[in-house]
Chain A
Amino acid sequence: MIVRNVLGRSSTQARASWFSLFGMTWSVAWLLLPLVFLTSFTWAQTSLPPRQSGYELMSPATRAMQDDEALNPATFWILDGQTLWNESAGKKNVACAQCHGDAATTMKGVSASFPKMVNGKLLNLQGQINMCRQTKQESSAFQLESKPLLSLETYIGHVSKGMPITVERTAENAEPLEAGRLLFEQRLGQLNLSCAQCHAERAGLKLGGNVIPEAHPTGYPIYRLEWQTVGSLQRRLRNCMTGVRAEPYALGSDELVQLELFLMWRARGMPIETPGVRP
């Protein structure tokens, strides 16, 4: 018995006419399936949930301060960083420029890839700069949060402005990344709040008149109007901890670098804004 569809065509005839519309045969159709799978797979990997930078929540005046290099106070740190990049230092008496050439080319995308595992140790960009200072220049490490270190970090970070953050989960960083995630979800302080409770669950809602940002580290080091100077992500994280009345982790501690790693991974794909301006 032949089953006929609404147009009075048999199933075989209907199928045949549909296919002929596209000039297809069954064999071709099957061959195209892996292609469909590959496209969908790639799409699924790269499409991340939409994220919002704290930039979007700022007033037009503050945004203008970030966007205009002539108004952004952090521009001075970029210029200082450039000077340091070309200055010889240490027992080896070499400058960054001697190994790395013109930062504008060679440092492209570098800050967007930190923190990362370097010789089995998790390093943020400040840690990498200090490692080069000590091993390649044979000089002393810069003090954390010092002006020269922040200047170099801002200079190198600025080179990646506009580029997407490329921190991904790898076999190497899986452990510290997981540690960072746990820290992000850990309740802290007298107020007993975790980062996640405000910045993941309540982002977009208000806390004391301020809109809660998602807290992505796209602009670091930033010129924070509150500090009236440029500072690192670690300094800002310590402020967050003071905010929930917790004893802040020390600068350079494992916990802070793990948190940095998790935050950068969480913001992967978002464009670097260094140097940002934030209230």
Chain B
Amino acid sequence: MSKTSRVVVSMPKTAKKGEIIPIRVIVQHDMESGFRHTERGVLVPRDIIRDFVCTYDGVDVFRAELHPAVGANPTFSFFTVATQSAMLEFKWSGDNGYASSLTSQLVVT
């Protein structure tokens, strides 16, 4: 697995103050579980994303701790309250120095 990869974030661009908005994220990652073997019987080492965090204006609003049983190309759908206009940042980190991130601006009226 390379040190970084593509991520796609789906969330509204605008919201009303106090509105609960849905956010969906998906990241390209094989999530090698560490339980698979090659054709010759050699164990393929574990190589997974370990953490995902969504920050809203720098404050953690959602975090996930991943284990090998999270499926390949992990996706999370969650909610957050639109408190004020801000930048949301999405960060993934994992084995072998893996790191990906994306930001998205939310305008709250």
Contacts and interface: CB of A to CB of B under 8 A. Distances in A.
Interface stretch (B24-32, B52-60, B78-86): B24-32
A11 to B, nearest CB: 75
Contacts of B30: 228-229
Interface of B is mostly: loop
Interface residues of B, number: 13
Contacts of B28: 73, 76
B8 A228 contact: no
Contact of B72 (A71, A79, A80, A229): A229
Nearest to A76: B28
B31 to A, nearest CB: 8
A229 B32 CA distance: 12
B6 A73 contact: no
Given A75-B8, A76-B6, A79-B6, A70 B72 contact: no
Given A76-B28, A228-B30, A229-B30, A71 B6 contact: no
Nearest to B25: A70
Contacts of B6: 76, 79-80
Contacts of A73: 26, 28, 72-73
B14 interface: no
15 contacts: A70-B8, A70-B24, A71-B26, A73-B26, A73-B28, A73-B72, A73-B73, A75-B26, A76-B5, A76-B8, A76-B28, A228-B71, A228-B72, A229-B30, A229-B72
